[in-house]
Structure 1
């Protein structure tokens, strides 16, 4: 893989040039960015791969839902449908995609819609639902919409400032576009990340005066969730466990399980993978199948002995308070 990435360097130069020209056209107003009367919070990143976007959307929902009529707009990546769709109780994961389905399953009181055309999605939300606030999932690079507030995620140990354009690196947008963010959230941090280490990262990121840099770690639950049942994580030590993942980066989960002294076999699939009947039959006979919450919504009802491990952001230090204060004016 590393060799292929090096070979792809000329392609990454062409890709970077295309990205640069595109952003210049938006900056000069040749390509139009649309603002909307309803406040919008954009959550996204500059790279491909997992930085914790869906858990961050869920964090914001939990933070804001008590006093706001919230809507979430997602592209619905990997769904087997097109156009604007609003989630209802009869909606399937195939219709809206795994991440939107996960969010709607946890927060059915929140308006969940998918539309690859963000401008169309917001316009229809304003006309039909009239939300107080719209969360835009994975929309940082979609410049046709000018958000009211932007949160840029970057993973600890994989900062965008250390990366390069696809396919040599993981960047899908230019590093300088980070200047459009209001908050830069460094995710997947060690929970005990020292203040001096945080300051080194801030210095590396070189935020502008209007930008805040916050830090979060991903916290795994010690209680596993199944269909109508739960299981303690420690109980896995006496079971034959098959870990099935279809996410961008399973390494943090794999590391967490190993540190918890859990022995397991791991089947790794691509991000947003829809499992075939043949694949399901290959692991359905295992004593216990452990997966992620995103994979669970695609496997639920198709696999026996299936459990998932919940994950959520925990902001370090005064991060939660700082985030609340930054969003208070929206």
Structure 2
């Protein structure tokens, strides 16, 4: 894989030029951008996948729960097109995994998808009239301008140490960081030291506040109707994950006699794959991610299928919350 990326380096230069010019044209006004007419927060990243956007969106939903919130996503992997506002009949295949997860967990918000973010915002303004719009994975969608931008970067793969696609994982040159109002370094060790934090801040070379977050796993697993304390699951189990970076999820759950089945991010499970999962489990509990559970529930008996929820904890939470709440007003 590394050899292939090195061979693709010349294409990375061309891609760098294209994305650089695109951003310049937006910055100087040659390309026009629609300014969102209500409070709006983008959560995104400079790299492809795996920085933890979904739990950070959920963090904001909980923080702003007293407001009338709408989320707007592209709806990656869905089998539909155009604008869709989620309702009780909607399926994951119609709006995508993460939006379906938002809709299932938070009943007091509106959840919409649209690949055209400008149209999506306009539809929300007409149909919902939200006080706040949270835009999931919209950092590069410069056809709309949000009021506040949260840029995420993975602790194990900082954007300052990465390269442009296809040589690296960056969707745009790292100086795109200048559009951020705050930066969160995600998936940090729980006990990250102050010295380590300061060293990372120096590497990022930014003038905006930098925060650090880590994953917090729930103490229980759920099947949609009941919950079981993880520490009480002593028998062998099957761990199933179809996410971008499953290592920490697997490491948290796995014990000596457990088995693991991994799939690509946003994977649509075929009937044969589901049969293989059931066969491999052989009556054992199947523990998966919350996102994968949305696609597997109803296809595997709830007697066996469980998911492990996650949240994020942000170091210096009070200061981060204050910045968000001051913007929202």
Task: Give the TM-score normalised by the residue count of structure 1.
Answer: 0.94
- Alignment pair present for 1:244 and 2:243: no
Which of 273, 294, 298 matches 2:291? 294
- Alignment pair present for 1:73 and 2:69: no
Q: Whole-Å Cα distance in 2 between the matches of residues 13 and 295 of structure 1? A: 36
Q: Whole-Å Cα distance in 1 between the matches of residues 163 and 186 of structure 2? A: 19
Q: Whole-Å Cα distance in 2 between the matches of residues 75 and 108 of structure 1? A: 20
Q: Which residue of 2 aligns with 1:281?
A: 275
Q: Which residue of 2 aligns with 1:329?
A: 327
**Match of 2:157, SS?**
coil
**Match of 2:70, SS?**
strand
Q: Which residue of 1 aligns with 2:48?
A: 48
Q: Which residue of 2 aligns with 1:222?
A: 219
Q: Whole-Å Cα distance in 2 between the matches of residues 166 and 106 of structure 1? A: 34
Q: Which residue of 2 aligns with 1:34?
A: 34
Q: Which structure 2 residue ranges, 5 or more long, are not aligned?
A: none
Q: Which residue of 1 aligns with 2:116?
A: 117
Q: Against the structure 1 CA distance between its residues 3 and 265, is the aligned structure 2 distance closer, same or farther, given a 3 Å change threshold? A: farther
Superimposed CA distance per residue, residues 154-175 of structure 1 (whole angstroms, 9 cap, x where no aligned partner): 0112100000112221111110
**Displacement, 1:181?**
0.2
Q: Which residue of 2 aligns with 1:267?
A: 261
Q: Is 2:56–2:312's contact at 8 Å kept on the other side of the alignment?
A: yes
Q: Whole-Å Cα distance in 1 between the matches of residues 44 and 50 of structure 2? A: 10
**Displacement, 1:263?**
3.7
Q: How does 1:300-311 map to 2 (within 5 A)?
A: 300-304=297-301, 305-311=304-310
Q: Which residue of 2 aligns with 1:89?
A: 88
**Displacement, 1:232?**
2.1
Count of equivalent residues: 322
**Displacement, 1:36?**
2.1
Q: Which residue of 2 aligns with 1:165?
A: 164
Q: Whole-Å Cα distance in 1 between the matches of residues 319 and 116 of structure 2? A: 32
Q: Whole-Å Cα distance in 2 between the matches of residues 169 and 242 of structure 1? A: 33
Q: Which structure 1 residue ranges, 5 or more long, are not aligned?
A: none
**Match of 2:100, SS?**
helix
Q: Is 2:243–2:264's contact at 8 Å kept on the other side of the alignment?
A: yes
Q: Whole-Å Cα distance in 2 between the matches of residues 49 and 99 of structure 1? A: 13
**Displacement, 1:262?**
5.3
Q: Whole-Å Cα distance in 2 between the matches of residues 11 and 243 of structure 1? A: 38
Q: Is 1:237–1:262's contact at 8 Å kept on the other side of the alignment?
A: no
Q: Whole-Å Cα distance in 2 between the matches of residues 324 and 252 of structure 1? A: 26
Q: Whole-Å Cα distance in 1 between the matches of residues 257 and 314 of structure 2? A: 30
Q: Is 2:148–2:327's contact at 8 Å kept on the other side of the alignment?
A: no
**Match of 2:145, SS?**
coil
Q: Which residue of 2 aligns with 1:212?
A: 209
Q: Which residue of 2 aligns with 1:187?
A: 186
**Displacement, 1:24?**
1.6
Superimposed CA distance per residue, residues 175-224 of structure 1 (whole angstroms, 9 cap, x where no aligned partner): 0010100010011011111111111111111112xx11011101111211
